[in-house]
Amino acid sequence: MEQTNGSNNFSHEPIRARPAGLLPSLLLGKAKSRRLPYQSFPCIFSSIDRYVKQMARHHFDSAGVLPAWFPTVGEVDDMETVPNYRSFTAMDPKSSMTLRGEPDEVLRLKGATYHIVDYKTARLTDNAQSMFPRYVAQLNAYAYIGSRHAFSPVSGLSLIYFEPNTDLEGDPSLAARTQEEFLLGFTPKLKAVDVKPDSFIEGLLLLAKAILEQDAPPAGNGGCKECQAVEELMEMTRPPSDA
């Protein structure tokens, strides 16, 4: 998200993991939580996402339909080329905030409507369900941007969870996959996401703007582990008080 207002140019970028140097390592050793905040996901998840997209595209280009393992989202006419997040943007005039992102798939359905998909390499557990409100915002942000580009109207949004097949006791046939080479399979499960009105995303952008314009960050939510880790690092790096 970015805001441009007169001479002010606020930007909010995700904090990415960097190799820990000596100072962060020493601080981490003293921190109660023993972790650095906002660490990114391991690269393997990005590799799996890329592989799924390549295989779905290859099958569609070859056969004209999505592969049989792909959950049903409607009658698909085409798989659109997904723009890079640098160009897949939309500005909300009410907040002057620019929203950008990059969905995993944009499918054009019969009737010239669009279905946006995001892949998750995870099990659809109760813990995963706790993340659902974030994903509702994520997918509706894609819909908000898409409706201002060529992908309008957006008629559906979906999460597709790829659950690794690792229950050897429940499914002994899995052992046959590794007789000659190591193969790990996944079971795709679809979870639909409601398409919200534009006011949903615009309200979140107004909230983001209000936070960015505060003189100091707001207090963290109770039980927020990331907030606790940030506070610990800030406390350890503050200069000693003169008192």
pLDDT in tens, 97-147: 999 999 999 999 999 999 999 999 989 888 778 889 999 999 999 999 999
Alpha carbon separation from 41 to 15, 102, 121 (Å, rounded): 11, 17, 11
Is residue 6 in a domain? no
Distance CA(159)–CA(128), nearest Å, equals 11
Q: How far is CA 163 from CA 121, 134, 213, in A?
A: 6, 20, 41
Q: What is the pLDDT of residues 136-189, one digit of tens each?
A: 999 999 999 999 999 999 999 999 999 999 999 999 888 888 788 888 899 999
User: Do the domain assignments include residue 185?
Assistant: yes
Amino acid identity, position 214: Q
Q: Is residue 237 part of a domain?
A: no
Kindly report the backbone phi and psi dihedral angles of residue 111, in degrees, each rounded to the nearest multiple of 5, phi listed first: 100, 5
**Counted domains in the chain:** 1
Angle, helix 22-30 to helix 225-237, in steps of 10 degrees: 110
CB crowding 84-118: b at 16 or more within 10 Å, else e: eeeebebbbeebbbbbbbebbbbbbbeeebbbbbb
On whether residue 64 sits in a domain, the answer given is no
- Residue 167's domain comprises 69-212
